[in-house]
């Protein structure tokens, strides 16, 4: 299958490695936001742009009958994105797999499976320790901050603390900058520590993780427990999973299952390289 | 949807509880092996018989256009069962979901997802601690054994030790019975301890567990790690997951997707009660 990449930041670069490693895929191009992608000759495009640009690009490509995969990550707007892309994909014989990072994405599949195994229970998704992209950007925007890194620290039961490392611009006082940061809406709701450091660059990391836990009752028995965890490189895992979803998109298109789908609407077998018989024999 | 249960052992009883708790299902009957089930009025039958009886019952029901779900558990024969049932289901507009317990079953879905996230790596499935049904039956068959319980103890990296509790029949010597048990093909390949106890019944348990671990490389980064674990009641979890798969079977039949499928061919969303929009909003 012919695969193209749109957007060449951390995730685009990780996706490039994963496409090149997939023996059933051919990388036919890497495009930047301002390139003309309308006439691209690809089965599927990995949309690795910022989240806000996903919908226009995915729509444009679906109209040309090109499948897409994105890692749109605003949880509250996923359903709306799916609704927008669904008729475009159906009318133009394309498949768009949306929100196919790790959360939303593979974690969503785990939460769905856990709910099927244990309908009565509570699920907590605990992120980190790892760098929060959104909070890091928010910290960098505080006046007086020269560089910043916001770490997400899991405090259990879906509660997260934050540890923010900052470098100061000349002429600013740490206490003033810290106070402004703690008032910011990104940080006002979580327990947040702010630490002044000489070099944020020396601390920076793309390692991340998650622990999903579901506790509840099965068959009248209390105390049943399910958990799922990852310790991974954040952009690499996102890029790899998008590439696996690209395989599913093309297969679903070839089966005539046109439309826009979240990851919980995919069968795991469609994500994997190889023939169904072989996969079933080795993994089931 | 109308659901019937065939077979009323531990799993059939657990399935009964799960069907009764599902607001979209009506339990229309519980059948035993010798009942006439050919003319059963159900959308889907949960085949809770011993594994060796799954194929004839599932074939018979598929021929009548009735969907089935089973927990067939011989890993090496799953692909063959699927091949046998596939044309029968397709010809009679039925869906059969096979090997839908926890391993094979939900664990298979986890292994497939882990492979999609990390194509280069090694997966180990560690069972227990918990009672092995097969090994317990094998221990009970050794001459001189009055009652037995064989526990599976995970020793890491997919290696398992066994701890077998036995009660003796009158006139047998423990050392002789122990030697015979250790020579049995079920136990000859694993590190096995045998312990003489006064009452096996006092020790018996249906609690079980699993830990699936995958370690490997993503995006050139070594040391990436995924894991999934459960501590659950064995028959309850199997019964519950079969019921969730019954929902998927009927939905796939209603979509015209006739055939025989393993769990890795199912979309997690189809396992869950409720409308797609609501599920996507709450779980993705």
Instruction: Report CB contact under 8 Å: A228, B228.
Output: yes
Contacts of B264 in chain A (CB under 8 A): 267-269, 279-280, 283-284
Q: How far apart are CA A222 and CA B232, in angstroms?
A: 9
Residue A202 near residue A167, CB atoms below 8 Å: no
Q: What fold characterizes domain B2-104+235-283?
A: Rossmann fold (3.40.50)
Contacts of A237 in chain B (CB under 8 A): 117-118, 218-219, 224
By DSSP bridging, strand A67-70 and strand A95-98 are parallel
How many CB atoms lie under 10 A from the CB of residue B17? 16
Residue A228 near residue A60, CB atoms below 8 Å: no
SS3 state at B9:
coil
Q: Which residue of B has its CA nearest to A267?
A: B267
pLDDT in tens, B76-124: 999 999 999 999 999 999 999 999 999 999 999 999 999 999 999 999 9
Say what the pLDDT of residue A33 is: 79
Minimal C-alpha gap between B169 and chain A (Å) = 34
- Contacting B residues, span 117-146, partner chain A, CB-CB under 8 Å: 117-120
Helices A78-91 and B276-283: angle between axes, nearest 10 degrees:
130
Of A8, A266, A234, A244, nearest to A113 (Cα)?
Answer: A266
Say what the pLDDT of residue A158 is: 92
Of A209, A25, A153, nearest to B218 (Cα)?
Answer: A209
Mutation target vs B (from A69, A110, A114, A117; most B CBs, 10 A cutoff): A117
Q: Which residue of A has its CA nearest to B230?
A: A226
pTM greater than the 0.90 cutoff:
yes
Which residues in B104-117 are b (16+ Cβ under 10 Å) and which e?
Answer: bbbbbbbbbbbbbb
Q: DSSP class of residue B170?
A: T
Contacts of B104 in chain A (CB under 8 A): 284
Q: How many CB pairs under 8 A join A and B?
A: 214
Say what the pLDDT of residue B204 is: 87
Instruction: Report CB contact under 8 Å: B226, A224.
Output: no
DSSP letters, chain A, are -EEEEE--SHHHHHHHHHHHH-TT-EEEEEE-TTS--TT---SEEEE-S-GGGHHHHHHHHHHTT-EEEE----GGGHHHHHHHHHHHHHHTT-EEEES-BBTTBHHHHHHHHHHHH-SEEEEEEEE-SEE-HHHHHHHHTSTTEEEEEEEEEEEETTEEEEEEEEEEPTT--HHHHHHHHHHSTTTTTS-EEEEE-S-STTT---EEEEEEEEEEEETTEEEEEEEEEEEEEHHHHHHHHHHHHHHHHHHHHHTT--EEEEGGGS-GGGGSSS-HHHHHHHH-
Helices A276-283 and B78-91: angle between axes, nearest 10 degrees:
130
Q: How far apart are CA B36 and CA B84, in angstroms?
A: 22
- Contacting B residues, span 187-226, partner chain A, CB-CB under 8 Å: 218-221, 223-226
Instruction: Report CB contact under 8 Å: B78, A284.
Output: yes
For chain A, say whether B274 makes contact (Cβ under 8 Å): no
Listed in sequence order, the residues at least 6 apart from B93 whose beta carbon sits closer than 8 Å to its beta carbon are B65, B253, B258
Instruction: Report CB contact under 8 Å: A111, B283.
Output: yes
Q: Which residues pair with A47 in a beta bridge?
A: A6, A70
Name which of A115, A227, A271 is nearest B229 (Cβ-Cβ). A227
Please report, rounded to a whole number, the percentage of residues in chain A having pLDDT higher than 70.
100
Name which of A119, A219, A221 is nearest B273 (Cβ-Cβ). A119
Domain boundaries, chain A: 2-104+235-283
Instruction: Report CB contact under 8 Å: B108, A284.
Output: yes
Minimal C-alpha gap between B100 and chain A (Å) = 10
For chain A, say whether B229 makes contact (Cβ under 8 Å): yes
Say what the pLDDT of residue B133 is: 82
Measured over the CA atoms of residue B12, residue B16, residue B21 and residue B23, the dihedral's sign is positive
Name which of B104, B116, B219 is nearest A284 (Cβ-Cβ). B104
pLDDT tens track of chain B, all 284 residues? 999 999 999 999 999 999 999 999 999 999 997 788 877 899 999 999 989 999 999 999 999 999 999 999 999 999 999 999 999 999 999 999 999 999 999 999 999 999 999 999 999 999 999 998 889 989 999 999 999 999 999 999 999 999 999 999 999 999 999 999 999 999 999 999 999 999 999 998 999 999 999 999 999 999 999 999 999 999 999 999 999 999 999 999 999 999 999 999 999 999 999 999 999 999 99
pLDDT in tens, A159-218: 999 999 999 999 999 999 999 999 999 999 999 999 999 999 999 899 999 999 999 999
Give CA angle at A213 (A208, A217), nearest 5°.
170
Contacts of A267 in chain B (CB under 8 A): 264-267
Mutation target vs A (from B214, B229, B234, B268; most A CBs, 10 A cutoff): B268
For chain B, say whether A182 makes contact (Cβ under 8 Å): no
Q: Which two tokens stand for residue A152?
A: 């997400």
Q: How far apart are CA A187 and CA A86, in angstroms?
A: 36
Counting every residue, how long is chain A? 284
Q: Which residue of B has its CA nearest to A206?
A: B221
């Amino acid at each position: 299958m012919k695969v193209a990449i749109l957007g060449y930041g951390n995730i685009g670069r990780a996706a490039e490695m994963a496409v090149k490693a997939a023996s059933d895929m051919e990388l036919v191009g890497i495009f930047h936001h301002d390139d003309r992608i309308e006439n691209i000759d690809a089965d599927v495009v990995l949309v690795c742009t910022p989240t806000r640009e996903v919908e226009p690009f995915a729509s444009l490509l679906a109209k040309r009958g090109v499948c897409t995969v994105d890692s749109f990550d605003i949880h509250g707007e996923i359903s709306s994105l799916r609704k927008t892309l669904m008729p475009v994909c159906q009318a133009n014989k394309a498949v768009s797999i949306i929100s196919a990072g790790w959360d939303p994405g593979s974690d969503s599949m785990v939460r769905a499976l856990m709910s099927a195994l244990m309908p009565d229970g509570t699920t907590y998704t605990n992120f980190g320790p790892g760098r929060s992209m959104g909070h890091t950007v928010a910290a960098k925007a505080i006046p007086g901050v020269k560089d910043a890194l916001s770490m997400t620290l899991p405090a259990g039961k879906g509660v997260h603390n934050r540890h923010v490392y900052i470098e100061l611009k000349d002429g600013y006082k740490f206490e003033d900058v810290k106070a402004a940061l703690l008032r910011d809406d990104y940080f006002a709701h979580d327990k947040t520590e702010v630490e002044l450091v000489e070099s944020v660059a020396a601390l920076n990391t793309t390692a991340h993780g998650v622990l999903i836990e579901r506790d509840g009752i099965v068959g009248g028995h209390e105390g049943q427990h399910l958990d799922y965890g990852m310790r991974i490189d954040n952009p690499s895992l996102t890029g790899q999973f998008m590439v696996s979803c690209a395989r599913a998109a093309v297969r679903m298109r070839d089966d005539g299952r046109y439309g826009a789908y979240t990851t919980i609407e995919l069968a795991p077998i469609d994500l994997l390289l190889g023939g169904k018989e072989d996969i079933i024999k080795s993994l089931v």
